[in-house]
Chains A and B, each alone.
Chain A
Amino acid sequence: MLNQKKMKRNTIYKILAVCAVIFTTIASCTKLEENPIGVLAPESYFKTEVEVEAAVMGVYSRLARETIYGRKLPITIMLLGDACDIGDQGTPARRIQMNNFVPDANNGLITAFWPEVYRSIGAANAAISGAQSIPNKDGAKTIELVAEARILRAHCYYILVQLFGDIPYIGEFVTDPGLVADASKTPAAEVYQKIIEDCEFAELNLPDTYASGIRCRPTKGSAKTMLASVYLTLGEYDKAARYAEEVINSRATYGYDLVDDFTELWKADNGDMAEHIWTVDFKAGNQTFYNLWAPLTGIRGADMQGWSVVVPSPGLYNLYDSGDHRMEITFITESPFSGVMVPYTNWEISRMHFGKYALYPGAGAASDGSNSGRNYPIYRLAEVYLIAAEALAEVNNGPTTKAYEYINKVRERARFGGTLPADLASGLSKEDFINAVLKERLLEFPLEYKRWFDIKRRQLGTEVFAGTNSIEPHSFDPAKNYLLPIPQSELDRNPNLKPQNPGY
């Protein structure tokens, strides 16, 4: 009996021991730590320039998206200007609000691109910070990459500061959002200062060109162009003129030249051309880079299967001299429907449409033109000529010979061997000359998001929207409409960003 009990007890002990072994073995096998393989941990990522370069590429991967250059950012800036209007009124209200100057702080365009542009800035900051942590942080290649990240950052801030005025400026890689959670707005002037610092660093350290004439990565020439543009916006015309003329004079070094046939600039399959100074690169047929400019501007119901969203303003067509070669690609007045040519007056949206993006979306685009590989132009040489012309006229209190030369370069190309537009008549007053340059910019760049920034820097809103010669009349409140509202959610999450821009 006693033995039996003992045996039983021994069995129990044995089993308990086995259990204990099982328990502790398994428990000691795991530390419950996650060791992800398909995921990159920031702290251990940066090792060489290769990783830094991939981080710089991260910025591009953000810019070439639907939320930024694929649609939302340019459409906002275009609709604010007076060259572009809404065709199909069934389009989302956010676009109509923007076009009519009644966006609210929850407008879907603003709330879409604001975070994305800041994410691009975050990617640039990550690259800049990562470059400091690699062993070869002072190598030439590393510095070049930092310069590239800095000008990309500057570009993002340049757009934001023009649209919103004072904004939070984040210049460091954020690893703990708590540290920036109560940031205040940085005054616009200070933002511009930082933009200029970044651009100057880029101008010093970027290469003149990249292999294969790549234009989607900024070069020294891009940095100078951007500085010219920034100084023009700031009204520091001497510097604007200086940088613009540096680009013009060194155009051979950078490989820039005006393209003879304006139409060729708009054929996606041509890729980047000599005229392009900086573009946003989209790859055809790749859903990551979602480019919707062809269907956005294409004709609804026509064979091109467009959506008739962004169409020319009612008065735009009549501003051109007849024979202006730019009109051929800028406007579509008839288009095939089921193979039969139909004039625009009989279209579902019976207005003229833009052809720059819709007509030649290129190989690899979908049948409605979406997912085109067409690159979005940020700067073209034509703009540098016009910046130089405008700035010189300002600096010299009237147009100089050079100023005429520069604007007429653009008009000459527009003639395409014809007679109109003729060279600008000499003897114009400073004001008339500058108006002529602004008009030239309007005619040269519809659908290239330049016009709104011209209206803003020259404070032309009341004149161009409520004036007698308005080509797209809208009510316009100069006390309010030069700035967009900061997304309401940002003010909610960080009250230090208050007050909202006036009027919203």
Chain B
Amino acid sequence: MASLLHLLLQPEKPRDIALMLCELITNNTHNNNIALYKCYNADKVFYRKAAFSRWGNKVIENEKKGYDWFYKDSEPSINTRLKKKYFYELDIPHFKGKKFSIESVISGNEETIGRIIDFYKCQWSTKDVFAIHGDLALCNFIIDKENIKLVDWEHFHYSDKEFFGYDIINMLFILIGHESKRTFRLNKRNMDFLKKCYIQLIEGAGNNNKILEKPFQNAKDYLLRFKDRFLTNVYKKFVLAGSPPSVLEHFDSIVTD
């Protein structure tokens, strides 16, 4: 009894510091105050986003909301874990599948882009509450034959269903930029493909849609009007924010004519 009491009264011995093997993938991209690590814990691999300021905490907490919104009711269930220390950490599972470069272009990815538009129409129309991913780009998808996984929900926010299509138009504009090497001049094949994408997307839109009449111009308007919702400096992060109206009008006419 005495020894038990002695044991209980003793201060708890600190646990050994877990020396998990980690790779720092990115740090403070677009001044987000967040580092992304790939962690190897025994045979388990996962990703960890760690904040390095209170602003980073805010962004990570928002990202968690995005994951919860998107993977709610998903099968199999996707568990992300938010640890609220002084600086927040979000553990994200490692998804298996094909990953895409940050510089991905249209040519050669047409089938995948078509699949993503179908996926968007299906996923975004079945949710109770509409939301915007905010940075839907090919590099944020992990795709295999059966599944499409979407990561990087830092700019997630709830929105009105009238803005259905914003994410896809933003993705197409990023692809246009990479395909044309920032000249915004595309060949006929690419332009025909863009039109096809637009037709595919508009089939899922409601009558009161506020994006798809002039998709690129309206998407930019949305981005600038609601820039505070994106939790970043949209002018530095999104090429759409700084694009001249003439370029956007040009692409609007290509897809809507």
Do the two chains bind? Answer: no
B interface residues with partner A (beta carbon < 8 Å): none
A interface residues with partner B (beta carbon < 8 Å): none
